[in-house]
Amino acid sequence: MKQIPFVQTMQLLERHDIPMVPSSVFVDQKEAWNFISKLKQPVAMKIDAAEVWHRTEAEGVFLNVSRKQEFEQAWQRLSSISEHRGVIVQEMRSGIELALGAKRDAQFGPVVMFGLGGILIELMQDVSFRVAPIDLAEARRMISEIKGYRLLTGFRGRPAVDQDKLAEILVNLGYLAAENSEIEEIDLNPVMANGQRIEAVDAKIWVLDYEE
């Protein structure tokens, strides 16, 4: 099983109307800095590498990068990671961290998953599952089933997450998995939700057979 390049991941998500934070991939250090230096906000820098399953654990994520010294340190570290294919540069986002995913089960076929994201998905294992594809009603039930559901409803003054839009993304994710038999696993974690803005800020797709 091989992780496909990040550029192809973005293209697949875009074709299936799954929103992702604006991202670019660079292999040239000077081009990357020229791009970042023209932005008016800090960025996230991440590794694109075939063998990296968890970018954070591989020290493959740098957040709030804006100064050249920070950029150079991040670039040096990311470029040293084995089998790196480039450096991902993304706009920064804030909000509630969610996790969406899909996996091809030996018995049931493609299965879609929803839960709280970031480290909470491993710590709390607060997730729901359905066999894909699903419709909007089923997606809404998936969303409401998790124990942390209240976080999505405007808990303690936070903006309520647009659950209709979130349900549409889950439906689209299910079709992406169901319609592409070569896909073994999709991991969108975290997906940052802040009111009506819901965007994947990290995305990985694995296929069974892939040659670069």
Check: CB of residue 44 under 8 Å from CB of residue 65.
yes
What residue has token string 């697949």?
A: 12
Check: CB of residue 119 under 8 Å from CB of residue 126.
no
Check: CB of residue 116 under 8 Å from CB of residue 126.
yes
Asked, for residue 212, whether it belongs to a domain, the answer is no
pLDDT of amino acid 56: 87
**30, 62, 91 - which closes a domain:** 91
Shared domain for 108 and 63, answered yes or no, is: no
What residue has token string 């299910």?
A: 174
The arithmetic mean of pLDDT across residues 186-200, rounded, is 96
Number of structural domains (the chain) is 2
**Euclidean distance between CA atoms 47 and 62, whole angstroms:** 9
**Euclidean distance between CA atoms 91 and 62, whole angstroms:** 12
Check: CB of residue 175 under 8 Å from CB of residue 86.
no
User: 3-class SS at 93?
Assistant: coil
Tens of pLDDT, residue by residue over 147-161, are 989 999 988 778 899
pLDDT of amino acid 1: 85
**91, 118, 151 - which closes a domain:** 91
Tell me which residue range forms the domain holding 187: 96-207
Tens of pLDDT, residue by residue over 65-120, are 999 999 999 999 999 998 899 999 999 999 999 999 999 999 999 999 999 987 65
**Euclidean distance between CA atoms 121 and 125, whole angstroms:** 5
* pTM for this model (two decimals): 0.92
Bridge partners, residue 84, by sequence: 49
Shared domain for 145 and 201, answered yes or no, is: yes
pLDDT of amino acid 158: 83
Shared domain for 101 and 202, answered yes or no, is: yes
**Euclidean distance between CA atoms 172 and 164, whole angstroms:** 12
